[in-house]
């Protein structure tokens, strides 16, 4: 029998097709070798994954993309430096070679002497009971049928549609983490996502609308996807935006809707509260612990605990159990998100936030479920407080600079006039422009309707599953790009 992910023959003791307790001897050999070479800490991340994406355009399935793989990432810490090497060959010699490469990056060499090392602790297995998820997940024919139902629903409910697309993705991942501080933990993760996109057009008028949802640890997510409701919502938005006026550029009070409205806080501020940014000196908040950085109305949280949320996990990718981390309390900065490297280099304690896309990336401090906490107001109170401003119902894409400067497109927006939401006055082409340091003190009201939305976040350790969220919030004034 070949060893996992390798075409080489392997001895009986190396036939390890599961990431579990059976890996203990090999992992302890690797970690002991790293410690004997002089490393302060050695970490091994093992992974197996099974991914599938399916795309429907109009009535046809145009893409089916399965991906399966496995591999290991080995990281060595020495002083304030670290070395990382990855391999998709899980044989013993290949793993030792990867260790030697990582050691060499920090100026260490593998020693012939055996090091004194107490070994791994008892395995913490968070994957127990999750094995059936993979068997229960939708098949390719099941997925294709649901996507065709979705594009057909868009056709029934939409008008003047030029393009209809529906997508489905699933990601099953088994991970095993071992480190020379004794950490030894295993987990199974299962994420699924759906998406609808449509383009409506009439002569010179255009409207592009999308809807995306996702869920973790729920094999029945696709079967329960409310296709009709999502299609009706998307088509209604497209109908309103198709003939909407282009927004006039200016500086306005703004109300941002809940759910995906939280993407601005995630992108413009959340990344600046990761120790990855503190290490680089690229966050303006590095020396602001205990100081006010936002309006007193703002409390912000990052956690990995909410059931079925995209950013939740039983353990992070360094084997630590997640926490509920209050980042900002009543406007005052309380904590940073920290991983192993962040703690070693900045002194900020780990928060269970070490995350990576897969074994090819070293873990870094990353957000999980990040949201502004609910306040005491009703959404109508925020709108009633504005004489003339903009209501942003659906956010689109955008970009963020290294120190929090941002611009985000608004997919669906309406004017607020004399304290009333004018749904008869839709506007399009709005772009929200600003930076975290300026905008956070201007969030003066938070409603009581906090809601979360699934998303993806790209950074130094790849693309990871996250949740963004907030209640309706009022920003006293923002720069709006338009015509």
Looking at the structure, tell me whether residues 188 and 259 fall in a common domain. Answer: no
| pLDDT for the residue numbered 8 | 41
Q: Which of 196, 223, 242 is the last residue of a domain?
A: 242
| Total structural domains within the chain | 2
Q: Which domain holds residue 156?
A: 12-242
Average pLDDT over residues 261-268: 92
Alpha carbon distance 63, 61 (integer Å): 6
What six digits make up the tokens of 29?
A: 């050999």
Average pLDDT over residues 254-278: 95
Alpha carbon distance 96, 77 (integer Å): 16
Looking at the structure, tell me whether residues 234 and 279 fall in a common domain. Answer: no
Alpha carbon distance 452, 186 (integer Å): 27
CATH code, 99 = 3.30.2290.10
Is 7 within a domain?
no
Looking at the structure, tell me whether residues 237 and 268 fall in a common domain. Answer: no
pLDDT digits (tens, 9 = 90+) for 396-429: 888 888 888 999 999 999 999 999 999 999 999 9
Question: Which stretches does DSSP call E strand in 218-375?
Answer: 245-246, 250-256, 300-303, 324-329, 332-333, 354-355, 364-365, 369-372
Is 267 within a domain?
yes
Looking at the structure, tell me whether residues 91 and 155 fall in a common domain. Answer: yes
pLDDT digits (tens, 9 = 90+) for 23-39: 999 999 999 999 999 99
pLDDT digits (tens, 9 = 90+) for 167-179: 999 999 999 999 9
């Amino acid at each position: 029998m070949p060893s996992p992910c390798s075409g080489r023959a392997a001895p009986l003791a190396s036939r390890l097709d599961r990431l579990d307790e059976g890996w203990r001897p090999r992992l302890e050999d690797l970690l002991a070798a790293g410690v004997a070479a002089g490393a302060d800490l050695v970490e091994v991340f093992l992974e197996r994954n099974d991914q599938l994406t399916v795309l429907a355009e109009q009535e046809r399935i145009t893409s089916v993309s399965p991906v399966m793989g496995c591999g290991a990432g080995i990281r060595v810490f020495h002083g304030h430096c670290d070395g990382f090497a990855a391999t998709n060959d899980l044989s013993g010699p290949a793993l030792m070679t990867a260790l030697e490469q990582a050691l060499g990056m920090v100026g260490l060499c593998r020693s012939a002497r055996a090091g004194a090392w107490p070994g791994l602790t008892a395995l913490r297995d968070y994957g127990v009971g999750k094995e059936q998820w993979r068997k229960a997940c939708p098949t390719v024919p099941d997925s294709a049928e649901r996507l065709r139902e979705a594009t057909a629903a868009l056709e029934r409910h939409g008008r003047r549609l030029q393009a209809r697309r529906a997508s489905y993705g699933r990601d099953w991942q088994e991970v095993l983490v071992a480190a020379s501080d004794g950490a030894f933990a295993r987990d199974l993760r299962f994420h699924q996502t759906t998406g609808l996109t449509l383009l409506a057009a009439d002569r010179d008028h255009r409207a592009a609308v999308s809807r995306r949802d996702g869920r973790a640890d729920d094999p029945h997510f696709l079967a329960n996807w409310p296709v009709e409701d999502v299609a009706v919502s998307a088509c209604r938005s497209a109908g309103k935006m198709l003939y909407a006026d282009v927004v006039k550029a200016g500086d306005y009070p703004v109300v941002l809707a809940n759910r995906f409205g939280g993407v601005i806080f995630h992108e413009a501020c959340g990344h600046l509260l990761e120790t990855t940014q503190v290490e680089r000196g690229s966050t303006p908040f590095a020396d602001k612990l205990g100081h006010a950085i936002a309006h007193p109305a703002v409390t912000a949280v990052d956690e990995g605990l909410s059931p079925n949320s995209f950013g939740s996990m039983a353990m992070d990718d360094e084997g630590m159990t997640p926490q509920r981390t209050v980042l900002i309390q009543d406007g005052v900065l309380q904590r940073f998100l920290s991983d192993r490297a962040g703690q070693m280099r900045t002194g900020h304690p780990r928060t269970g936030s070490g995350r990576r896309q897969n074994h090819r990336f070293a873990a870094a401090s990353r957000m999980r479920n990040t949201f502004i906490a609910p306040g005491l107001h009703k959404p109508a109170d925020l709108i009633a407080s504005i004489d003339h401003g903009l209501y942003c119902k659906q956010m689109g894409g955008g970009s963020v600079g290294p120190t929090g400067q941002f611009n985000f497109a608004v997919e669906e927006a309406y004017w607020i006039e004399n304290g009333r939401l004018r749904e008869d006055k839709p506007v399009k082409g709005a772009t929200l422009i600003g930076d975290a340091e300026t905008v956070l003190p201007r969030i003066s009201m938070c409603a009581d309707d906090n809601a979360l939305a699934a998303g993806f976040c790209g950074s130094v350790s790849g693309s990871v599953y996250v949740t963004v969220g907030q209640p309706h919030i009022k920003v006293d004034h923002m720069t709006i790009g338009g015509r």
